Structure 1
Amino acid sequence: MSTIVYWICTPFAWLVRLFYNLTGSYGVSLILFTLVIKLILLPFQMKSKKSMVRMNRMSGKMQEIQKKYANNRVKMNEEMQKFYEEEGVNPMSGCLWSFLPLPILMALYYIIREPIVYFMNFGGRAAGLEVVEAARQVIENAGITLTSNAAYEQIEISQIINSQFPDFIAQHSGWVNVNYTFLGVDLNSIPTGSFGMLKEGITWGAVGLLLIPIISAAMQLLVMKISMKGQANSSAAAANKSMLLMMPLFSLWIGFSLPAALGVYWIAQSMFSAIQEFFMGKFYNKKLEEEEEARYQARQADRQKRMEEGRKRQEEIRQQGVQKQSLKEKRKAAQEAKAKKAQKAATSTTEAGRVGDRPYARGRSYKADRYDESETK
């Protein structure tokens, strides 16, 4: 497990060390590290933000479905799923990427609390632990007692070696003489220790250490306020309102219980997130308005097209009716003409010449008594 953690943390440690070598400031290197991570994650977070903004804009329709099927949960879920598919959204996609800063926070925590193994990187965890053991032996041989607990022992060892044992540094070429002070505050200190420092006297180092968790919580509150702006009253909004309280409290806990360097990272992370949320919210609200307007115009054009097609079909049906009526009239006229012709034929011959329907079967001049017996005699 420790090997897996080492290889996960190594790229992050390399990035922090790169910025430290460039700037010479541990605090600035953490801020630049945060900025780069935000830029790397930006495409994923943009997708997440767009989904969240779209969900917020659709909340009215979702509430209608929930009210309509309030007494039928199965039907309501079916209609909601159908609605999501029609709109092309995933209700969970907006939450997934918002949790990414937490694993990075854990990786950075290992880097900060074990600077010799991760930050200095002597070629592997085992090699780093050998250097830690060698440094511990040098310190103990000098009669110095380590006071930190095991979790933060490497921080104390590195500080003692940096200040008192330059020969040890010269013997280990990978050693980095890190200055952990940023704006007069020791970033390797834990802010809970600021209360004891203040008892001895008010100094900027103690006050700054105390302010880091408070600023961290305030910045996280600002992020939640900006991200929730414009949300309608929905179940998602209610969940976010609970997060409005939880995340600042979580930030306060991180700030006070972990080294101040993590607090600086969390402040930078919250600051960049607030800026990101503000501009992305404006951008995607405008973009989705344009998309909705385009869809509305497309629906109107489609509706107009269907209406035109309907009118054409009605006109065709009317024309077909007229043609059928005209054909019917022609047939009737033909039948009447035929009947008149037959009637005329019937009146133009003698009945003596008729055989059934054949008016001239015996000829026009047929006379039944033409050869009467009295004439032949």
Structure 2
Amino acid sequence: MAAIGMYLGQLLKFIYDFVGNYGVAIIIFTILIRIVLLPFYVQQMGTMKKMKEINPLVEDLKKKYAKDPQKLNEEMMKLYKEKNVNPMSGCLPMLLPLIILWPLFAMLRNYPAFSTASFLWLKSLAEKDPYFILPILSGVTTYISSAMIQTDNSQKSMNLIMSAFMIWITVSLPAGVGIYWVTSNIFQIAQQYFFLRPTESMKGESSNEGNNKNRKNS
């Protein structure tokens, strides 16, 4: 882990030597890290997209078998098999990037050059954001990112709690880490927008399902 942190620090210094500002260097550094980790997130996004597609069917099953949990589980398994969805397949891609992310955060929190580095309103990237701009941006971008992948309204309160938690965490972190986190969140939002946007076939299926329901009701 320490070796990974050392190499990441060298990469950040390499970028800084080109751009001459550590704030800009962190932004570029973050984008590069996210690009490296992109294959892991692509698999995760694929699972999320499939889960979001079949969520209306899942909700129908929950209503239909609300009083029979065993039957509900059986029907859910059938649905997952029929739609070729494995809810657990997105877990491993989420865990593997931690091998990079843990030493990365440790490196950013203790990067010596940040003490004399300034960026925009920040006089020192080693200090907390005195105006709480980064914590607020961290919370807002975390909420947007989470809202994009929520499948029902019951998750909204959890998203709010997570966003508030990120604000609280970022308040106590060096500004350099805050810049990384906000940039990473913005990249995540763009990534999710690209990978989770409905395809034409999905729109067609949704329209057909809606028409079928209307016919049944009429």
Q: TM-score, normalised by structure 1?
A: 0.48
- Over residues 148-173 of structure 1, what are the superposed CA-to-partner deviations in whole Å (9 max), with x where a residue is unaligned? xxxxxxx7xxx5xxxxxxxxxxxxxx
- Over residues 253-277 of structure 1, what are the superposed CA-to-partner deviations in whole Å (9 max), with x where a residue is unaligned? 2221111111111110111111112
Tell me, yes or no, if structure 1 residue 286 matches structure 2 residue 199. yes
Residues of 1 paired with 2:45 and 2:180: CA distance? 22
- Over residues 187-228 of structure 1, what are the superposed CA-to-partner deviations in whole Å (9 max), with x where a residue is unaligned? 11123xx3xxxxxxxxxxxx4xx3121122122222223333
Alignment match of 1:211 (pick from 122, 130, 133): 133
Summarize the alignment of residues 282-321 of structure 1 with structure 2, pairs less than 5 Å apart.
282=197, 285-286=198-199, 289=202
Q: CA deviation at 1:32?
A: 1.0
CA contact (8 A) 1:227 1:278 kept: no
Residues of 1 paired with 2:37 and 2:203: CA distance? 26
CA contact (8 A) 1:105 1:262 kept: no
Residues of 1 paired with 2:95 and 2:165: CA distance? 13
For 1:246, the equivalent position in structure 2 comes to 161
Summarize the alignment of residues 154-233 of structure 1 with structure 2, pairs less than 5 Å apart.
179-185=116-122, 186-191=124-129, 194=130, 207=131, 210-228=132-150, 231=151, 233=152
Task: Provide the alpha-carbon RMSD of the alignment.
Answer: 2.8
Alignment match of 2:185 (pick from 258, 270, 282): 270
CA contact (8 A) 1:54 1:288 kept: no
Structure of greater relative contact order (alpha carbons < 8 Å, 6+ residues apart): 2
Residues of 2 paired with 1:103 and 1:42: CA distance? 14
Residues of 2 paired with 1:290 and 1:57: CA distance? 10
Q: CA deviation at 1:61?
A: 1.9
Q: Secondary structure at the match of 1:89?
A: coil
Q: CA deviation at 1:85?
A: 1.4
Note closer, same or farther for the CA distance 1:279–1:180 as it changes in structure 2 (3 Å cut).
same
Residues of 2 paired with 1:107 and 1:96: CA distance? 19
Aligned-pair identity in percent equals 34
Residues of 2 paired with 1:288 and 1:97: CA distance? 26
Note closer, same or farther for the CA distance 1:105–1:42 as it changes in structure 2 (3 Å cut).
closer
Q: Secondary structure at the match of 2:66?
A: coil
* Bigger radius of gyration among the two: 1
Q: Secondary structure at the match of 2:87?
A: coil
Tell me, yes or no, if structure 1 residue 43 matches structure 2 residue 39. yes
Identify unmatched segments of 5+ residues in structure 1: 120-154, 160-178, 195-206, 294-377
Residues of 2 paired with 1:288 and 1:15: CA distance? 42
One-letter amino acid of the structure 1 residue matched with residue 20 of structure 2: G
Q: TM-score, normalised by structure 2?
A: 0.79
Q: Secondary structure at the match of 1:181?
A: coil
Identify unmatched segments of 5+ residues in structure 2: 207-218
Summarize the alignment of residues 54-93 of structure 1 with structure 2, pairs less than 5 Å apart.
54-93=50-89
Alignment match of 2:172 (pick from 247, 257, 260): 257
Number of residue-to-residue matches in the alignment: 205
Note closer, same or farther for the CA distance 1:113–1:277 as it changes in structure 2 (3 Å cut).
closer
